[in-house]
Amino acid sequence: MKPTITIDFVSDIACPWCAVGFGNLSQAMSQLEMVVDFKVHFRAFQLNPHMPPGGQDAMEHLTQKYGLSLEQVKTNQAQIRARALEAGFVFHPEGRKRVYNTFNSHRLLYWAANECDLDKQAALKKELLNTYFCLAVSLDDEKNVLDAVARAGLDKVRARKILASDEFTAEVKAEEQFYKNMGIQSVPSLILNEEYLLQGAQEPESLISAFEQLIM
């Protein structure tokens, strides 16, 4: 019987390094799938919980938040696009135009995990990241979000009802607070077997090494 490794993947849709981390984790797990069962649960974290409807120009947001020049931001974005490509995500060549509030996306991810299964949640996570960074379209536009739901093989009618209500609002807020109380301040953060913390977009080789240590 194969051992099981549980992974709580704390992340945000608005985080490009979370897309890199997602892709790297997928690559690492594929290398060990014959000897390990993985149970991955994506957990909510908002980088910009107070972002208003309509969002903010991405370059404006990044220069203001991190105190960088426009040229520094462009250089960083090019480096992230290269890392994302290695991880399996083809980011839009012009980058995302705006930064959006991601709370509704987290509500849908919570629904996918709890009413469907973790595989469906992972599929939705990937498609929401694709929507945000690869298609580079608005997360405020319900059609774009529902298109991601459909690509993930989930029920658009149910998703639309969730978006029109406050369903899973309390649960997502509680989940966010739980991980903040644990000391999570940056994402991606991976918690292995509810005990070991890995932070940042780890390379596949580093993840494989960590997983192998857990099953020795």
**What confidence tens digit (pLDDT) does each residue in 30-55 have?**
999 999 999 999 999 999 999 999 99
Total residues found in the chain within this entry: 216
The pLDDT value given to residue 9: 98
Q: Residue 178 gets which letter from DSSP?
A: H
Q: How sure is the predictor about 70, in pLDDT bands with cuts at 50, 70 and 90?
A: very high
Strand partners, 38: 5
Phi first, then psi: give them for residue 194, nearest 5 degrees. Answer: 60, 25
Provide the domain limits for residue 209: 4-215
CATH of the domain at 194: 3.40.30.10
Q: How sure is the predictor about 65, in pLDDT bands with cuts at 50, 70 and 90?
A: very high
- The reported pTM is 0.97
The pLDDT value given to residue 174: 98
The string of pLDDT tens digits covering residues 82-131 is 999 999 999 999 999 999 999 999 999 999 999 999 999 999 999 999 99
Element (H, E) at 137: none
Distance (Å, rounded) from C-alpha 6 to C-alpha 41? Answer: 8
Q: How many domains does the chain have?
A: 1
The pLDDT value given to residue 216: 86
Radius of gyration in angstroms for the set of CA atoms belonging to the chain, rounded to a whole number: 17
